[in-house]
Amino acid sequence: MVDQKFVAINLPNPPSYIVDREYAGGFGIAQYVGIRYTAKPALNLFLPYAAAVAKESGWNYKVIDAVALKLSRQEALRQIEKEKPTMILGMIGLPSFRHDIKFLNDAKEKSPDTVVAACGTICKVMPEKVSSSGKIDLVLRDDFPYIRNIESLLTNMRALNPSSFKELPNISFLQDDKIVNTPDEPHEDSLDSYNPIYDDLPLDKYYQFTDLEGKKHTAVPILAGKGCSHNCSYCPYPVGFGRKYSLKSPEKVANEVEYLHSSKHVDAFIFRIQSLALNKKWAETLLHELLKRKLDITWACEARVDEASKELLALMNASGCKRIHYGVETGDPQLIKIGKPNVNLMTVRRAFHLTKQNNIWTHAHMILGLPCENKQTLKTTSHFLLDLDPDSITLNFATPYPGTALYEIAKEKNWIVVHDWAFYTSSHVVMRTEELQPKDLYDAKKKIEKEFLKQKISRLVSNPFQNHSLRLLTNYTGQLLARSLNM
């Protein structure tokens, strides 16, 4: 086994785009950045977990983040060829599907004896499409971060013989021009099983977030938990990350933070979990654990507005939380029943008020184009956002991801207007509503961003000595203005 090598790769970007394949429930999102760009990607956490499984299984391994390293297609292929791997694993994104498939096909052509495998949520929901698209040997159908699939492949060396692939669960492959889907094997996710390995990763080249003092923090994500049991019709996370809420133990999370802080000199983190306080007891235990260790760190997270409380937010602030991303989705009192079931706008207002009281940056994620969206609901959302006054916003378009309820609804009602997955980026309109066409949604996004930008500039000019420094004006509103003018 010592001569065999496993390579896990975050595949290179398509031309002029930067792709974060872990986001959108493992379907991935894509941002147009042009030829020369300074945007930084998020670390795809499938990489450090793949490294951990490989090491534990006794394999030599190499992790390559072609996105963070800004490797061209040819540079990435040369790196793989240099490693002479027995097996390659790449994560396929939906908006980068054609590009990713072609890259893995090219890798197979250069090294015909290498087993080429693919993972990603598109592999789970449409394994036949992936298997029949080229020369990929194995398609992994497990939930992110694919621990069980990788473990099964690497520990069962006989699986490197294509005739025995069928003995492994949750994989698909092409045999005699027919797709073979091995049975789904029920299992309990345990994020405590492996300690992710970050040694091959360029930790200084990843996503940065800004705090209320205008300071930028280069952050490393920690997979603290995954999965979501909520039934939001549009959400891809239950599809790709599982419907069961699976948590890493608070001690394990704190150990990982402490290790990265002391050994890798990382002082900022993003707790990757669909909602930090879905299990309030777990969240409180984690925060007390961080406080107990007296770590000088800064961190950010996602949370649901209905989980925010005065006590929890005070504890988050004390342990280093500087930024919270909330899924607001819409500002219309009727549409929120679709966008965020069992939540009302008063709950949203309360969460943002309490978060601001604790001097934590508030970010509102919005979705334009949900079912029943119309010109009036868009106006209501715009007014609500201006009144809510978050520190920053993201306006995404409703996207019917395969495997979601929204996808089935959109197909049935003939709402899908774009079938090319390259445009399933979250920033392109691919679905109309009963009353709105794509142009209506693009126009609404541009108008909302401009109104939000105008309000921010006005408040900064009238009160330049508030917590939001002038550097914030250039960091955030400048980016927002550029996006608005280029739409």
Domain residue ranges of the chain, discontinuous segments joined by +: 5-174, 207-486
pLDDT of residue 429: 98
- The per-residue pLDDT for range 106-155, each reduced to its tens digit, is 999 999 999 999 999 999 999 999 999 889 999 999 999 999 999 989 98
CATH fold match for the domains 5-174 and 207-486: no
pLDDT of residue 188: 67
Amino acid at 398: A
Section 384-408 average pLDDT = 97
CATH number belonging to domain 5-174:
3.40.50.280
pLDDT of residue 322: 97
Q: What is the C-alpha to C-alpha distance for residues 124 and 140, in angstroms, rounded to an integer?
A: 7
- Higher pLDDT: 175 or 369? It is 369
pLDDT of residue 362: 97
- The per-residue pLDDT for range 73-113, each reduced to its tens digit, is 999 999 999 999 999 999 999 999 999 999 999 999 999 99
Q: What is the phi/psi pair of residue 361, to 5°?
A: -60, 130
- Sorted by sequence, the CB contacts under 8 Å of residue 115 that are 6+ apart come out as 86, 87, 88, 137, 138, 160
Are 141 and 130 in contact by the 8 Å Cβ rule? The answer is no
Residue with tokens 């994500």: 221
Section 282-289 average pLDDT = 97
Q: What is the C-alpha to C-alpha distance for residues 212 and 485, in angstroms, rounded to an integer?
A: 26
Section 295-313 average pLDDT = 96
pLDDT of residue 475: 52
pLDDT of residue 484: 44
pLDDT level of residue 486 (50, 70, 90 thresholds): very low
Nearest to 386 by CA among 461, 458, 468, 462: 458
pLDDT level of residue 482 (50, 70, 90 thresholds): very low
- Higher pLDDT: 462 or 209? It is 209
Q: Which of 64-73, 134-143, 453-462 has the lowest mean pLDDT?
A: 453-462
- Higher pLDDT: 202 or 37? It is 202
pLDDT level of residue 465 (50, 70, 90 thresholds): low
Q: What is the C-alpha to C-alpha distance for residues 269 and 328, in angstroms, rounded to an integer?
A: 23
pLDDT of residue 472: 53
Domain range 207-486, its CATH number among 3.30.9.10, 3.30.1360.170, 3.80.30.20, 3.30.450.40? 3.80.30.20
pLDDT of residue 487: 38
Burial 146-161 (b: 16+ CB within 10 A, else e): bbbbbbbbbeeeebbe
pLDDT at residue 187 tops 80: no
Cα end-to-end distance, the chain, whole Å: 53
Q: What is the C-alpha to C-alpha distance for residues 352 and 365, in angstroms, rounded to an integer?
A: 13
pLDDT of residue 355: 98
- Give me the half-sphere count of Cα atoms (radius 13 Å) on the Cβ side of residue 312: 21
- Higher pLDDT: 177 or 240? It is 240
The CA distances from residue 409 to 45, 119, 213, 418, 433, in Å, are: 31, 26, 44, 15, 11
pLDDT at residue 410 tops 50: yes
- The per-residue pLDDT for range 220-276, each reduced to its tens digit, is 999 999 998 888 899 999 999 998 889 999 999 999 999 999 999 999 999 999 899
Average pLDDT along the chain: 91
